[in-house]
Structure 1
Amino acid sequence: MDLTKRVGMNIRAIRKSQNLTIDELAEKCDFQSPYLSDVERGERNITLQTLNKILDALNIGPGKVLIPESISKVDATGIREELMQLIINMLEDKNEDDLRMLLNISNEIFKTYK
């Protein structure tokens, strides 16, 4: 996963762990909600100044969004959602044949370990 998507996903997980809506965080950062939504989806390549505004609004250091392992410590209740988002992001650029192969392999693994 590229850094832009990872940082955006981590920002979203931290925002949710702090029970902030996207509108509330956008207001704290003095951004528009659609812009922040693009950031969280990894569709905006943000500057360090923008990242710093978000970090300040969330009251966190840069390690929390740059190091994925730190998210699990921040939001233990959102781990399942985070893992699912990681899987979705990983599969976005795969073709149909690759997705079918992965589905078959996954089914076999789950059958084996049930």
Structure 2
Amino acid sequence: MNIKEKIGLKVKSMREEKGFSIEHLANISNVDRNYISDIEKGQRNVSITIIEKIIHALDVDFATFFNDKSFVK
């Protein structure tokens, strides 16, 4: 699994934990819903700026988001 897929799965997992639809996450993060969908599918090289918008909307910080064994080889 590559890093794009790992980030996508993490975003999707955290979004679902919060009970958010992609549309809701898009609205509160100010990121296009199709872009979020592509991130979750591992199809986007997502910038750190977009990650920041998304994790802020999910009410987590970078340390929490990346504190996951799936990001370590």
TM-score exceeds 0.5: yes
Partner of 1:16: 16
Partner of 1:41: 41
User: Among the aligned pairs, what percent are the same residue?
Assistant: 26
The structure with the larger Rg is 1
The DSSP-based 3-state class of the residue aligned with 2:43 is coil
Partner of 1:94: none
Partner of 1:66: 66
The unaligned stretches of length 5 or more in structure 1 are 71-114
Q: Which amino acid counterpart does residue 33 of structure 2 have in structure 1?
A: S
Tell me, in whole angstroms, the C-alpha distance in 2 between the residues paired with 1:65 and 1:43: 19
CA contact (8 A) 1:8 1:39 kept: yes
The unaligned stretches of length 5 or more in structure 2 are none
* Consecutive aligned runs of 4 or more in structure 1 exceeding 3 Å deviation: 67-70
The DSSP-based 3-state class of the residue aligned with 2:45 is coil
Tell me, in whole angstroms, the C-alpha distance in 2 between the residues paired with 1:51 and 1:31: 10
CA contact (8 A) 2:4 2:45 kept: yes
Q: Which amino acid counterpart does residue 45 of structure 1 have in structure 2?
A: N
Q: CA RMSD in A?
A: 1.6
Partner of 2:57: 57
- Deviations along 1:90-109, one digit per CA (max 9) or x if unpaired, are xxxxxxxxxxxxxxxxxxxx
Q: Which amino acid counterpart does residue 23 of structure 1 have in structure 2?
A: E
Tell me, in whole angstroms, the C-alpha distance in 2 between the residues paired with 1:12 and 1:42: 10
The DSSP-based 3-state class of the residue aligned with 2:16 is helix
Partner of 1:97: none
CA contact (8 A) 1:22 1:36 kept: yes
